[in-house]
Structure 1
Amino acid sequence: MVREAVTTTLVRADTRADLRSALATFSGRVGFVPTMGALHEGHVALIHRARAEVGPEGAVVVSVFVNPTQFAPGEDLDRYPRTLDADLEACAAAGADVVFTPAVEEMYPAGLGDGSVTVDPGVLGTVLEGASRPTHFRGVLTVVAKLFGLVRPDVAVFGQKDYQQLALITRMAADLCLGVEVVGAETVREPDGLALSSRNRFLEPAQREHAAALSAALRAGQAAGGAGPVAVLVAARAVLDASPGIDLDYLELTAVDLGAAPASGEARMLVAARVGTTRLIDNVPIVLGPEKLTHEGAR
């Protein structure tokens, strides 16, 4: 059944039928924020962005679903934090209208076997995160496509912290003609620069201090942008090499679309590393070469 949750204005829907009933009460645009729960201020910012996109007459839907198909064996599916009561409170406080909280059986009624239809992420899904987690993006794109089909949003908001995921979902929505505008929202950070993540709670105090080196390295790379791609990577790696407790997976400079980095102009720097047993990712935009001066002068 459809259940009132936390406030009289937030509706929790556990099933597809519940979701349809809840959405039928809205006539405006629908904004959607897919999450795996364990919500933090970064998610709250996404909800606020969705509200800004659809306006006061629209509906903002948040999904809370820990998707098993994007975790490989040995990854942290069982360990991933589940804080549904707190998530519902956060959604209510942020002004969401509907929270969709399906069970695994609701999202995968035919089971999790190999016979199901899935979304192939293509070549872009095999690099960076895809190289370390080969099945990850197939699971992500498949569940997001399912959620788009169920929610039928006009706009969906994703964080830029998961930049490769954002790029793939944007491409999927366009290539498969899903009729959803995909919006990327800026990464929300702690005062020392660490990107907010549901996995940050797994860091011990000393590890939390070490983790700040990821954003420090990215900032160092940004500052070196005017000297070109090689200088960017050298500056960022120097910070990581001098930082204890960082087990680097990758540090890459790419084009905005995650292709080969340009010699000058707009680019993206991405990093992934383990701090203790916790794997963290982050990224920033970078302007390479002479165009950096043009961008700064235009501000």
Structure 2
Amino acid sequence: MTILVIAEHDNASIKAATLNTMAAASKIGDEIHVLVAGHGAQGAAQAAAKVAGCAKVLLADAPQLAESLAENIEATVLSIAKDYSHILTPATAWGKNIAPRIAAKLDVAQISDITAVISADTFERPIYAGNAIATVQSADPVKVITVRATSFDPVAAQGASAEVETIEAAADAGVSQFVSREVTRLDRPELMSAHIVVSGGRGLGSGENYTKVLEPLADKLGAALGASRAAVDAGYVPNDYQVGQTGKIVAPQLYVAVGISGAIQHLAGMKDSKVIVAINSDEDAPIFGVADYGVVGDLNVIVPALAAHL
């Protein structure tokens, strides 16, 4: 049983979610190959070869793979899919763009967002915004799976010395083209990989107050900033700050929820955090049902006082 992990990378290094996906793959079988599809991606291939548990790296390097267009990566994967029992990607925006195309072309059912591996053909995944866990068994000859990164501890980035084998990239599908990419540059940790997250909700009242109240606390903690859907919809912050079922799924060591009521959609994105601290003026807010520590009071007083004492 040989497993293929499609690596998310930037052509120079491997993204963190790939390490979590490797951890999930290791629970399925021992023979794990990693596909690095890109252009000028030798650096990423060498990094993948060092990842613990990697037996072989397949490097597909071609101009048409430079920007990770789903159609071109899918065609390259299909050329080698017959050699694998499982094909895994991270359940990130990148992975969720690629995996469905592969599953459709292989005529198999995709198993999405798995949170646990029961056996080689049986997996757990959340449904109903995380309020229930479905156990899914698949008899498909090739199982195409996306992995919720926060549910698996990452494997070590160092420890292996796998061979790197160059394979032929599929020709440009010619049905899409890369136009531009706008990359957000952050002075603080990236939301999905941060060890500490400070999130704000509609209770902050405005975008100006979000910045005024939360940024000093986040700076003191070295934290990433997040937000509820209500705060994003109100225009307090950009939508890439959103934590929740329709935003980003996070599981940091510490999650501080400020002015967030705790709607089910938001809880689905952060309830696996190791320690949750909730600050809200409503003592009946649902967020207190999942919080390890709760403070009832005026966030405009409590948060600055907390930041001042750190």
Higher strand proportion (structure 1 or 2): 2
- Note whether the superposition's TM-score is higher than 0.5: no
Higher helix proportion (structure 1 or 2): 1
Smaller-chain TM-score bracket? 0.3 to 0.5
Q: What TM-score do you get using the length of structure 2 for normalisation?
A: 0.41
